Amino acid sequence: MEAEQKGTAARKARERPSRAVEIVHYGALLGAAALIGITAGSAHWTLDTIVVIAVMTVVSDLTRVEVSSKVDLSGSFLGIVVATVLLGGGPAAVIGVLTIAATWLRWRTKLHALVNNAATFAWFPLISGFFFHALVRVAHVGHGAASYYLLVFAAFVVALAVNFLAIAAYQSYLGRTTVLRMTREALIPMLPAELFSALLTMVAVYLAVTLGPVGLVLFALVLVVFQYLVGELLLSQRRSKELHRMATIDDLTGLANREHFRGKIGEEVAACTASGKPFSVILMDLDRFKEVNDTLGHDYGDLLLRELGTRFIECVGSAGMVSRLGGDEFAFFSGLFTDDQDELETFANRLLELARQPIVIDELSLELDASVGIAMFPQDGDDAHTLLRRADLAMYAAKTGQVGFSFYSPELDVNSAQRLSVLSDFRRALLHDEIVLHYQPIVDLDNLVVRGAEGLVRWEHPEQGLLPPAAFISAVEQTGLIVPLTQHVLERAISQCAEWRRDGSEMSVAVNLSVRNLLDHDLPKEVERLLSQYSLPPEALQLEITESMIMSDPERAMITVRRLHDLGVHLSVDDFGTGYSSLANLRQLPINELKIDRSFVIPMLEDERDLIIVRSAINLGHDLGLRIVAEGVEDERTLMRLALLGADLAQGYHLSRPLAPEAFSEWMGQPRRLLAKVG
């Protein structure tokens, strides 16, 4: 075992030594060479012993085992001390320099580190050898005496001291720390091992003295094998630590993973059951994260999650735990043993603030929001599974209510059961024709002629009455049911449009698609089949998609979009202006139309910024050869203004709310009233 200057240890402070230190280094080397020459006569230059020890030190050093970042385990130091004792300082110094040179050839550390190591490995055998042989001579002890081995021990200590001081002094010079600190960090932890090493040195000397070179060879073999075994042991220990770390850590953020968190909560449950203390499990789900991921790519999403992880860790501190459960879901153990709602509220708000603080990546400032749910031990659950599930229900309630955070309450369980029954109800509803379309007219801004209508889905619920899409679409989207829903809507819309056309008007009909539909490669075939079944020309069907739908899986979505376009069906980009629209994406889509989102159109006469957006969208769309629809036209002035700005079509409550088919026909039958009013 030894302290040896490692190339990487010379971090930060000083890259290389000053001239003066270099002069000292080379001076020390020259001095050592001179001393070896002068004392050559009094040393034993026994070739076979030199070769055996040199082979051992070099092999041992090349197969060194890294114990920590500062200390390596190798038998080379021990071998050099043995050489010092058996042969004298000079030959031992030669072996020392040889070993350092061989290791350097293998690892190529910095040259100045090599020089310092070589000087050290020349000088410690010289000094310790001088010390040892002088004492042996003065005390007249022979190989047979026990005191001889005490002197070997003393020689080892001297060698270790010189070796350590030389290396530590240089390292602390480079790293601008103190030798004292190096002693504490590198030497003291190694002392037991050094003691063992000193004993081995004594054994080696004994074997060499009694058995000659054969004893030394035997010893060297045992040592190298021993070192190898220790190395394997350390390696397997490190591997199992790494495996353990991988099993408990979320790779992306370095936070605890779900298993780890669940385990932690299990432990807290056990501890708090014993102590009677309350605690809480807090869950957070990001809002709008999917949008970032979908539109800007996963790299951004990943960076964002990592940044949030760092913020949360700082906030929770070492008493608590932050975990990423997966996706954009985080879980917290606050470390607060309280059921005081105000205190927990403060904590939840702090987490929300952290999630809301803008995150700047590549000069892009991203703002997210989040929803937090809290479940408390013991009143909301007394095991990790229940606590997590109920915190999740509370989080879901916070999200749907858009209230930031909420505490678990028993009604939430009832609601979640209801949510499930919504879905089973929905299957039935599809079969029983409870799913209907209302139509909202789309009007030409040049002459106010009705060009078509958007079909908007409604659920005529037997108990709850007419449900708007907001009440069920997102639940339906999360299941495979969106595919049969869209099929149903398409069939209704296409047959309705065919009917209008039979009555003589050149109407078109618009249908909204969901992400899932774009990933469904059967959709174009289905559309083609319905068009031919109802003899509707393809251009009479307008399919509405949003950009973020494309971005969720661009390649797959593009295949569907292209096939639909090839059928001759018209495509619109819905809700244009919301989300992270990018012109590059837009240009690649085979679209005919942009629908400017109602959130810009509604306030455009009050807010100059919205007006600017609407105007730019119109110009941009026209430059790309697209037709522009403004949705959310709620009053006459907006309608006129849009006409002046050059928008092509308009849709909104001012013209008509979405109407059931009969009401729509009636409305169509009396267009003059509208025209008179608008014109």
Instruction: Tell the smallest beta-carbon distance from residue 482 to ligand C2E (Å).
Output: 7
Distance, in Å, from the CA atom of 312 to the CA atom of 302, rounded to the nearest integer, reads 15
Residue 575 binds Ca ion (CB under 5 A): yes
Which of ligand C2E, Ca ion, none does 490 bind, CB closer than 5 to 8 A by kind? none
CA–CA distance, 298 with 467 (Å, rounded to integer): 36
574 is a contact residue toward Ca ion (CB under 5 A)? yes
SS3 551: helix
Maximum C-alpha span of the chain = 130
Q: Cβ 322 to ligand C2E, closest distance in Å?
A: 35
User: Judged by CB under 6 A, does residue 373 bind ligand C2E?
Assistant: no
Residue 489: name the closest of 463, 512, 523, 468 by CA.
Answer: 512
* Nearest Cα residue to 569 out of 531, 541, 530: 541
Residues in the chain: 679
Question: Per rule CB under 6 A, is residue 199 in the interface with ligand C2E?
Answer: no
* Per-residue exposure over 564-583, b if at least 16 CB sit within 10 Å of its own CB, e if not: bbebebbbbbbbbbbbbbee
> What tokens appear for 293 in the block?
């991921």
Under the criterion CB under 5 A, does residue 547 sit at the interface with Ca ion?
no
Contacts (CB under 6 A) with ligand C2E, residues 646-665: 652-653, 658
Q: Which of residues 474-533 bind ligand C2E (CB under 6 A)?
A: 489, 512-514
Q: How far is Cα 644 from Cα 523, in angstroms, rounded to an integer?
A: 38
- Options 19-27, 133-141, 395-403, 464-472: segment touching ligand C2E (CB under 6 A): 464-472
CB of 462 to ligand C2E, least distance (A): 20
| Residues from 489 through 528 that contact Ca ion (CB under 5 A) | 512
Strand-strand pairing, 450-461 and 65-66:
unpaired
What 345-350 contacts at long range (C-beta under 8 Å, 24+ apart), as own/partner pairs, is 345/405, 347/282, 348/282, 348/372, 348/374, 348/404, 348/405, 349/404, 349/405, 350/315
**Token pair in block for residue 561:** 């979009």
Judged by phi (left if over 0) then psi (alpha if -120 to 50, else beta), residue 335 lies in: left
473 binds, among Ca ion, ligand C2E, none (CB under 5 to 8 A by kind): ligand C2E
Say which entry of ligand C2E, Ca ion, none residue 560 contacts (CB below 5 to 8 A, set by partner kind): none
Q: Which range of residues in 92-100, 205-213, 320-328, 467-475 is near ligand C2E by CB under 6 A?
A: 467-475
Stretch that binds Ca ion, among 69-77, 227-235, 493-501, 536-544 (CB under 5 A): 536-544
Tokens coding 40: 């050559």
Residues in a beta bridge with 10: none
- Our CB check for ligand C2E shows the closer of 223 and 453 to be 453
CB of 246 to Ca ion, least distance (A): 45
Nearest distance in Å: CB 537, ligand C2E: 21
* Cβ at position 496, least distance to ligand C2E in Å: 13
CB 268 within 8 A of CB 333: yes
Q: Which of ligand C2E, Ca ion, none sits in contact with 489, Cβ below 5 to 8 A by type? A: ligand C2E
CB of 555 to ligand C2E, least distance (A): 22
Residue 72 touches which of Ca ion, ligand C2E, none (Cβ within 5-8 Å per kind)? none
Indicate the residue among 4 and 574 with the shorter CB distance to Ca ion: 574
Q: What DSSP string describes 629-658?
A: EEE---SHHHHHHHHHHT--EEESTTT---
Residue (of 248, 267, 258, 257) closest to 383 by Cα position? 267
Tell me, what DSSP letter sits at residue 582? Answer: -
Among 194, 328, 392, 575, binds ligand C2E (CB under 6 A): 575
Among 158, 456, 498, 545, the residue binding ligand C2E under the rule CB under 6 A is: 456
- Chain residues binding ligand C2E by CB under 6 A are 440, 456-457, 468-470, 473, 489, 512-514, 574-575, 598, 631-634, 652-653, 658
- Chain residues binding Ca ion by CB under 5 A are 512, 544, 574-575
